Amino acid sequence: MTLELVVASGKGGTGKTFISSNLAFYLNSKGTKAIAVDADVEAPDLALALGGIKEIKWEEKFYGKIVTIDYSRCIGCGSCVAVCRFNALNMENGKPVIDEDLCEGFGACALVCPVKAISFIDIERGYIYRGTTPVGLDVFTGDLHVGEKNSGLLVYNLKTMAREAAYREGFDIIVVDSAAGIGCPVISSISGADLLIIVVEPSKQSLKGALRLMDIADQLNTEAYVIVNKYDLNVNFYETIRREFGERIIGKISYNDIVVEAYARMTPLLKLYPDSKPTLEMIDAFNKILEEMRIR
């Protein structure tokens, strides 16, 4: 059975990819067969943190769907406009008009249309691929074209392909590096996961985002824990975070300039400085994660 772990953060810049890249590297080094998914498809950088893509194993275009209306059949009832939660349809001169920039292609409008005047066309949104990194870890990743949408659907497709590969090839765990925030791609990342790790830094904005992520995890019935990164930059506020999350804090990692160096050299910190203080702190947190997932 393959387990799925998602690393997320309520705001950007907390160190989410730093944690997920080192976690995936650590799992492989401990003999736990891992594969990674970069679900931040608008700005993917997980593979870069692992040394870049050495070899692309496969690549394919990603297509989203967009609504089209047959006005020769449309009776102008407005049912499609009423049901669209993205406000992508508006009535003009008695007929629905599509705002393509807002359309996510979910299809509720087509379901409620009484005369079947609404259908879909495929549009190229980006591409997805699987690549091998220099540290021996495969990454499923994608990239949306500039300005394109359907990032939630792209994340869903990436996770589906990773799960299929994990089943075929016997991977123990999938590590998903989510986008920052709480938007559609983040929800798509967390959905169906076995465990969520929320990365938070000692700031009010980060704590607010982390609390919202915890609410999402609870709604999706996903077990969630917290890692506090750069905790020593504001020890007083770290105590606020500790009081807020209590036993859900599974680790804390100190700030160090060598983290910046590891990023610049595109090498996991665990490999570059295996005996450093933040490395040992991460390993302690990662072992607790393994204990929670019962695969250690």
pLDDT higher than 60, residue 197: yes
Quick one: fold of 3-52+133-293?
Answer: Rossmann fold (3.40.50)
Tokens matching residue 259:
């983290």
Give the tens place of pLDDT for each residue, 8-30.
998 988 999 999 999 999 999 88
Write the CATH number of the domain with boundaries 69-124.
3.30.70.20
Q: Rounded CA gap, 58 and 195, in Å?
A: 28
Domain ranges, ordered by start, for the chain: 3-52+133-293, 69-124
Instruction: Work out the angle at residue 278's Cα, subtended by the Cα atoms of residues 256 and 191, and round it to the nearest 5 degrees.
Output: 110
Query: Confidence band (pLDDT; 50, 70, 90) for 296?
Result: very low
Per-residue DSSP letter, 133 = -
Give the tens place of pLDDT for each residue, 275-294.
999 999 999 999 999 888 77
Handedness of CA 171, 253, 264, 184 (dihedral sign): positive
The whole-number average pLDDT for the span 21-40 is: 92
Distances (CA, A) of 226 to 127, 163, 175: 32, 25, 16
Q: What is the pLDDT of residue 270?
A: 96
Tokens matching residue 249:
């804090």
The whole-number average pLDDT for the span 79-102 is: 91
Give the tens place of pLDDT for each residue, 140-152.
998 878 766 667 7
**DSSP secondary structure string for all residues of 142-193:** EEEPTT---HHHHHHHHHHHHHHHHHHHT-SEEEEEEEESSSHHHHHHHTT-
Give the SS3 label for residue 76. coil
